Amino acid sequence: MLDGLQRLGRLTLGWLNRLGRATLFLLRLLGTLGALGRRPGLIIKQLYSVGVLSLPIIAMSGLFVGMVLGLQGYANLVDFGATSSLGTVVALSLVRELGPVLAALLYAARAGSAVTAEIGLMKATEQLAAMQMMAVDPFARVFAPRFVAGFIAMPLLAGIFTAIGILGGYFVAVYQLGVDSGAFWSQMQAAVGLVDDVINGVVIKSVAFGWVANWIAVFEGYDAIPTSEGISRATTRTVVNTALVVLALDFVLTAIFFGV
Amino acid sequence: MSATAFSSRSDPSSESPLVTVRGLSFRRGDRIIFQNVDLDIPRGKVTAIMGPSGAGKTTLLRLISGQIRPDAGRIEVDGVCVHELGRKDLYQLRKRMSMLFQSSALFTDLTVFENVAFPLREHTRLPENLIRTLVLMKLEAVGLRGARDLMPSELSGGMARRAALARAIALDPMMILYDEPFSGQDPITMGVLIKLIRTLNDALGLTSIIVSHDVKETASIADYLYLISDGLVVDHGAPLALESSSSAWVEQFLHALPDGPMSFHYPAPSYAEDLALREEPPRA
C-alpha cells in the first residue's frame, strides 16, 4: 500500500517536473517570436515541411472519413426517411468534431513525430550545441520557426480535411446512394452556422490543437535523450501525448461550446 | 557586463593567459570529474589537454565555452568570467570563439558552402557576393573549395572535419576549441588535420586548445601539454619536458604502456566474491 502511494507520488512529481520544464521551454520559445518576425523565410521553409508535405495524408484521410460518414449516415437516416438531412449530418460531424480532431491526430503522426525526430537528431549529432557555440540561439533558429509554422498549418489542414470530407460525403450520398444534390447542400447550409459550428468547431479547436501538438512535438525533441533509443521514445511520446491531450482538450472545448 | 569587454579582439602580444582556470570543481551525480583544478592557456599557442577516455577532457571544453557551469571555481576567457555571463553576453563572447566538435556537427540539411556561410549570415549583414568570396577563401584554406556543393552525407569523415574547421574560422575567432580532432581518422587525413591546425593557428594568430588522447599526433603540434586524470592535472609542460618526466603515470600515458599506475580493471568487488566462490575452512 505504502509502496504504491510512494510510486504514485514519484510519478506525480515527475509529471509535474516535466510539465514545469515544458512550460519554461514554451515561455523561452515565445520570447524569441519577435525576432522571428524579421525572418519569415525560416517559417515558410517549415510551413512547407509540416504543412504542404502533410497535405496528401490529410486529403486522403478526409476523403475516406467523409465517404464513410456518408454511408453510415445514410444507413441510419433511411429508416426515418430523412436522407435529405445527410448533408447536415456529414457537415456537423466533420466541422464540430472529426475535422479538427482527426486532422490533429494525423498531424501528430506525420509532422509532429518528424519535428521531434529531427530536433532530437540535431541534439544527438551536436548540431544544436554547434549552433549555440556559434552564438546562434536554437530557440530562435530551430524551435520557434517549427512551432509557428505548425501553429499556422494546423487550422489550414483541419479546414482542408473538413472540406474534402464533406466532398467525400457528397459524392457517396449523391452519386452512389441517390440523395438529391440540392437537398444535400441546402439542408447543410440551413443547419451549419458560421460562428456556432465553423468558428467554434473547426477554427478554435484546430488552433488549440495546433498549439498543444506543436508545443509537445518541439519540446519532446528538445528534451530527448540524445541516443537512438531516446529519440525513438521521444517520437513515440509525441504521438501518444498529443493524442491524449487533443482528445481531452476536445472534450473540454466541446463542453464549453456545445454542452447543454 | 560592459560592452567594451567584447568590443575588441584578443591582443596576441598580451602576456596574460587567454584562458585562466582556478579551483575548478565539477561533478556529475556522485562522480567527481574535476577537483580543484588550475590551468592557464597561453595566447597564440596550441595547448593540448590530454588524458585517458572519461577523464573529463570534453567536459573541460564545455566548461570553458560556458555550455555547462562549474560547481566551484572560476573560468576566465580573455579576462571575462564565463559562467557569470548572462545568455546575451555569453553569445557575444562566443562570437569570438569556435569549437570543432568530435562529430563535426555540420548541419545535415545544408551544403558545405551553406554550412560555412551560416555564421556569416547569422552575424553579419554582408552582401551575398562578399559572403561567397569569404566562404570560398575559408574552403580554400582547408582544401575543400571544390566540395562546396556537396551535402554533409556525401563527405568522408576527414572532409567533414575540414568543412567544420572552415565553418569554425568563418568569423575569424580569437580561439578554437578542438574536441578529439584526430579520432577515427586515417593516417593521411590525420596528417592533413595536424598541418591545418598548426598552420591556421599561426597564420590567423589564433589560440588553440586541443583535447585528445592521440599522444603522438597531438604532441607533435602542441606548444604546451596538460595531462589530466581522475579529476586532477597530473602534469603539465612543453612536450619535450614531459617526455623526460619522472612520473610513472606520465610515462605510462605518453608511451601507451598497458600496465602501470592506471589500472586495467575498473573498480570492482573481489573476483572470488563476484563468482560466489567460498573459501574452504582450514582442516583441523
pLDDT of residue A87: 94
> Which residue in chain B is spatially nearest to A127 when comparing CA positions?
B105
> Cα A92 from chain centroid?
19
Average pLDDT over residues A120-139: 95
B160: closest CA of chain A, how far (Å) = 13
Q: B2: buried, middle or exposed (CB in 10 Å: 19+, 13-18, 0-12)?
A: exposed
- Mean pLDDT over residues A104-132, rounded? 96
| pTM metric for this prediction | 0.86
Q: Flag whether residue A196 sits within 8 Å of chain B, measured between CB atoms.
A: no
Q: What is the pLDDT of residues B53-91, one digit of tens each?
A: 888 889 999 999 999 999 999 999 999 999 999 989 999
Percent of chain A clearing pLDDT 70 (strictly above): 100
Contact B18, B223 (CB under 8 A): no
pLDDT at A30 exceeding the cut of 80: yes
What is the interface pTM, i.e. ipTM, of the complex? 0.83
- Give residue B281's pLDDT: 67
Chain B residues lying within 8 Å of A127, measured CB to CB: 105-108
Q: What pLDDT digit, counting tens, does each position of A45-85 carry?
A: 999 999 999 999 999 999 999 999 999 999 999 999 888 89
Q: Using CA atoms, how far apart are residues B147 and B4, in angstroms rounded to an integer? A: 39
The answer to whether residue A109 scores a pLDDT higher than 90 is yes
pLDDT at site B284: 57
Q: Is the dihedral of CA A239, A242, A246, A247 positive or negative?
A: positive
Residue B143: count other Cβ atoms within 10 Å of its Cβ: 13
For residue B4, the model assigns a pLDDT of 40
Looking at residues A110-135, what average pLDDT do you find?
96
Half-sphere exposure of A79 (CA within 13 A, CB side): 4
Cβ pair B119:A134 closer than 8 A:
yes
Contact B103 A136 (CB under 8 A): no
Average pLDDT along chain B, 284 residues, taken 10 residues at a time: 45 78 91 91 93 87 93 93 92 93 93 96 93 95 93 93 94 93 86 90 92 87 90 88 82 79 76 78 64
